[in-house]
Amino acid sequence: MSDEATPLIPTTTSSTTNRRSTRNSNRNMYWTLGCVYGASAVAIAAYGAHGLKKIVPDPAKIASFGTAAHYQLIHSLVLLLATRAAPENKLAANLFTAGMTMFSGSVYALVLDPARFRFLGPVTPLGGLCLMGGWVALAF
């Protein structure tokens, strides 16, 4: 039996508040990353469409650059959606973030300076696997 000092509605404990605060900061971090990656994808795509031809004469490399920007933009939007639809799913958010960084980032570097960034060749498919893993993690 409760006395008059026992509240009818339990208050949240500091650990519950801390978990909520951490969860919100993670969600905000992924939201911010999605926005930054989305904005940079638009800028990179514009550069690829207008400025890249001056340094890279190969149309196939320019197309690869455009594909990387396209994937980055799509997955930026997916990261934003995942942040709202499944805020507890850090695995999906981490995989999308890593995938965009590795896949698109390695393609950009390899197109801009293939000799210097040759070592990034194996990173591109790993980034693609992370993007696929993000979709699977989001599904479950």
The full 3-state SS of the chain, as one line of letters, equals CCCCCCCCCCCCCHHHHHHHHHHHHHHHHHHHHHHHHHHHHHHHHHHHHHCHHHCCCCHHHHHHHHHHHHHHHHHHHHHHHHHHHCCCCHHHHHHHHHHHHHHHHHHHHHHHCCCCCHHHCCHHHHHHHHHHHHHHHHHC
The end-to-end CA distance of the chain, in Å, is 43
> What's the pLDDT at 58?
95
Indicate whether 12 pLDDT > 70: no
Q: Is the pLDDT confidence value at 46 over 80?
A: yes
pLDDT confidence tier of residue 64, bands split at 50, 70 and 90: very high
Using 50, 70 and 90 to split pLDDT, how confident is the model at 51?
very high
User: How much is the average pLDDT of 13-36?
Assistant: 74
- CA dihedral of residues 53, 78, 119, 62 (deg, nearest 10): -10
Query: pTM of the predicted model, to two decimals?
Result: 0.81
Residue 11 pLDDT class (50, 70, 90 cuts): low
